[in-house]
Amino acid sequence: MSAMADNHNFSGNGGDNNDQDLVRVPKRTPMACTFCRGRKLKCDGRAICTNCAQRKLECVYKPVSET
C-alpha cells in the first residue's frame, strides 16, 4: 500500500514551481478602442488596431470614466 501512496507525487520537486509553468494568462490590452469596446471585440492595442484597420475606421482610444 505504501508504494501506491508514493506514486501520487507527480511533480518530483514538491510542486512549488509547476503552478507557474502550467498557468499562462494572455497579456491583456490596458484599454480597448471605442469601436472594439462598442462591438465587444478583442482589441490589440496598437495605434491603429487590426479591427479598425480592416474596416478603414478611425481608431480612437478614450478612457472609461469611473462613475
Task: Report the SS3 class of residue 34.
Answer: helix
Q: Burial letters for 26-60: b for 16+ Cβ neighbours within 10 Å, e otherwise?
A: eeeeeebbbbbeeeeeebebeeebebbeeeeeebe
> pLDDT (tens digit, 0 to 9) for every residue of the chain, 67 residues total?
555 555 554 555 555 555 556 777 766 667 899 999 999 999 999 999 999 999 999 999 998 775 5
pLDDT of residue 14: 53
pLDDT of residue 67: 55
pLDDT of residue 58: 97
Q: Distance between CA 64 and CA 2 in Å, rounded?
A: 58
The pTM assigned to this predicted structure is 0.54
